[in-house]
């Protein structure tokens, strides 16, 4: 799909696939506009066909040029802060950033600085983009890896829906203590709060459903460490950490959940891949997120 940004507008040339739809049908079928944003677009006269505002029951034809008001100026929602961010993918609609350890995804209180969102806001500002910083998902402060940000309201709405429908696949790599057997499996154990600790979670039959799939991808005999790839069907707080500890293989450096190894002063857990079909270009994206230096060093030192 050939999409072009022109100031606040996204312009597209209609292909035969969408020819003979009404404007409203096209906005719903291809762009997946939810009702609220569709209403705002209508009120703003935010659609043009061949440069003209037309009734939404008008048909669009093969070769028509359709402009959609997508890129509206907004407050960032966080304070832009000059800090380097490691960008793994970016286009007009979304951004994927490799979050370092020791950094919150976004401020937890008004005015907070030194979060990934502050760095993203500065990146937007530096590139002349005035839009709200919208994260699609989060990572624990000391978990590293890929986080997806939307660059406009429609992108946020569609990506949120894709995440809830599990159409955004995220693979995590965990370094765990011991030689994991069996080499792959599924942990289907509910997770709830640990009433003896303010932040810790635990496997509990009264907790929320939690499902983690894991696969062994390597073993370091010198250190007795297994590399696992994990995928989640659910998104509970500390889910991978709780489940792997419950299995008897705590993540290296994760003192909260029973790690005894002193190789790291944080958990060796990294969101290593993000995979989905781009909601607008329809490009199949598989973005591999580089390991931080300390985890890479453990992997390399065999």
CB–CB of 68/191 below 8 Å?
no
Nearest in space to 244 (alpha carbons), one of 267, 272, 217, 218 = 267
Residues tagged active-site: 140
**Strands of the 65-69 sheet, one edge to the other:** 3-6, 9-13, 65-69, 47-49
| Structure token digits, residue 41 | 């677009």
| Structure token digits, residue 293 | 């230096």
Q: What is the Cα–Cα distance from 27 to 48, expressed in whole angstroms?
A: 12
Scored b (16 or more CB within 10 A) or e, 62-98 reads: eebebbbbbbeeeebebebeebebbebbebbbbbbbb
């Amino acid at each position: 799909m050939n999409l072009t940004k022109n100031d606040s507008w996204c312009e597209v040339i209609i292909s035969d696939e969408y020819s003979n739809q009404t404007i409203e049908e096209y906005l719903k079928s291809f762009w997946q506009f939810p009702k609220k944003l569709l209403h705002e677009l209508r009120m703003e006269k935010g659609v043009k066909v061949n440069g003209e505002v037309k009734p939404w029951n008008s048909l669009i034809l093969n070769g028509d040029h359709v402009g959609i008001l997508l890129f509206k100026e907004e407050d960032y929602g966080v304070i832009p802060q000059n800090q380097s961010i490691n960008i793994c993918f970016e286009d007009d609609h979304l951004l994927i950033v490799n979050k370092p350890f020791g950094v919150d995804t976004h401020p937890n209180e008004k005015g907070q600085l030194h979060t990934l969102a502050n760095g993203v806001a500065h990146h937007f500002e530096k590139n002349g983009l005035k839009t709200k910083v919208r994260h699609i998902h989060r990572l624990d402060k000391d978990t590293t890896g890929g986080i997806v940000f939307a660059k406009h309201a429609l992108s946020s709405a569609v990506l949120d829906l894709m995440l809830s429908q599990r159409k955004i696949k995220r693979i995590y790599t965990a370094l765990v203590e011991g030689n994991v057997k069996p080499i792959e499996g599924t942990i289907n154990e509910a997770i709830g709060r640990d009433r003896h600790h303010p932040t810790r979670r635990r496997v509990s039959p009264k907790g929320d459903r939690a499902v983690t799939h894991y696969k062994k991808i390597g073993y370091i005999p010198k250190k007795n460490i297994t590399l696992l790839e994990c995928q989640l069907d659910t998104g509970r707080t500390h889910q991978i950490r709780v489940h792997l500890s419950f299995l008897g293989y705590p993540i290296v450096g994760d003192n909260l959940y029973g790690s005894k190894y002193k190789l790291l002063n944080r958990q060796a857990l990294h969101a290593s891949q993000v995979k989905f079909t781009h909601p607008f270009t329809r490009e199949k994206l598989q973005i591999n997120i580089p390991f931080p230096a300390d985890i890479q060093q453990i992997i390399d030192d065999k």
